[in-house]
Amino acid sequence: MTSSDNQLTSEYTVLLPELQEEPETSPKVVIGYLPAHDFDFDAQFDNIHWEYLTHINVSFAHVKSDGTLNTDKVPVNKLRQIRTRAKEHGVKVLISLNKSDNGEFAAAIDNAETRNALVANIVNFTQANQLDGFDIDYEDYNHWNTNSLVAFAKALHEAKSADMLMTCAVICWKDYTIKWQEYFDYINIMSYDRVMGNSSTPGQHASYTDFVSDMNYWATKFQAPKSKIVGGLPFYGYSWDNDVNKDEVGAIRFNGILNHFGKTYDVEEVADADQFGKTYYNGRPTIRRKCQYVMDNDFGGVMIWQLFQDAYQEELKLIKVVGEVIMQE
């Protein structure tokens, strides 16, 4: 080998690390809940940023104790409208299931006959409306039977077609068992509502610290693969300020927060804070930080509750922050 060969080898040795491929990461999802009955549906539907979404969970079809579904809040015409627009952008559409009244969802799955009826009704509704799957949002916390819940998930998984997506919304203070994660494509962690507006003590309901803790809790406690774990982002907050227009549990949308405090303060400052007065929420930096944690630690993605709560101003929208980090656009 000549001296020139040695020089060439040395040059290539230096350059090779630059040619190495980046480690592969799992595909990321952005799942947005979209209430078909929301008062802002007609005004804001055309303003949804589909390019930053991978899935839409249309909410809610309500589970009744006899295993039937009350679909008044998800009328066929709205489902068709959502499905058509989503398909244009390559976004998958799921129907989200929630309780009708307290105890009804629990009653339906506690009994084998009504459980089987419910399973059939969910699968049939999904197929009849040409949806990509369904989402189980079981929040009947005062009627919790882990065995019934897991049996329901297992039956659903066995009854659905192979290409039908099956997701869920979960919390971190109830038992699901390690079997639960086997049945779902994505597990959406409701990492918010730690403190609600009807509490006597004001506070942050969705901190970054709790977000990180919740993600890792599901990875360790219930042994869910990180690729299935999806972190919940709130596009709303809670307020204890008397002059703030909020709902019966003290909740206020991000657009409402900007509207209220933006009258007195610079609206950019409000959008980048997590607290004004006794109103607590997630501003753009916290949403960005949570999304970056998902990316850095290779979790499955993020979930949003809910899309119509976002800022009306294009330049202040939280979904844009999500898109920049998760979709890298």
- Could you give the domains of the chain? 25-235+282-326 (3.20.20.80)
Question: What is the SS3 assignment for 169?
Answer: strand
Distance, CA of 317 to CA of 329 (rounded, Å)? 14
Residue type, 228: K
Is the pLDDT at 323 greater than 60, yes or no? yes
- Tokens 């007195």 sit on residue: 264
Type of residue found at 115: R
Q: Is the pLDDT of residue 198 over 90?
A: no
Rounded average pLDDT over 261-282: 98
Mean pLDDT of the region 309-321: 98
What average pLDDT score do residues 161-166 get? 98
Question: Across residues 25-37, what is the average pLDDT?
Answer: 93
Paired tokens of 90:
């390559």
Q: How confident is the model at residue 15 (pLDDT cuts 50, 70, 90)?
A: very low
114 within 8 A of 64, measured Cβ to Cβ: no
| Distance, CA of 135 to chain centre | 10
Mean of the per-residue pLDDT values for the chain? 93
Tokens of 136: 């189980």
* 16 compared with 192, residue with greater pLDDT: 192
Average pLDDT, integer, range 149-158: 98
Interatomic CA distance for residues 57 and 286, integer angstroms: 23
- The whole-number average pLDDT for the span 95-103 is 93
Hunting for tokens 């933006």 — which residue is that?
262
The pLDDT score that the predictor gives to residue 161 is: 97
Tokens representing 111 are 């009994």
Please give the structure tokens belonging to residue 299.
């979790």
* Candidate from 15-19, 50-54, 104-108, 261-265 with smallest mean pLDDT: 15-19
Task: Tell me the percentage of the chain whose pLDDT exceeds 70.
Answer: 92
Higher pLDDT, 248 or 255: 255
The pair phi, psi for residue 177, each rounded to 5°, is 70, 160
pLDDT at 215: 98
Instruction: Give the length of the chain.
Output: 329
**329 falls in which pLDDT band (50, 70, 90)?**
low
The stretch 173-178 carries a mean pLDDT of 96
Query: Is the pLDDT at 20 greater than 70, yes or no?
Result: no
Residue 179: what are its φ and ψ, rounded to 5°? -70, -30
pLDDT of residue 24: 60
Cβ distance 223 to 294 under 8 Å?
Answer: no
Q: How confident is the model at residue 197 (pLDDT cuts 50, 70, 90)?
A: confident
Residue 287 in this model has a pLDDT that exceeds 80: yes
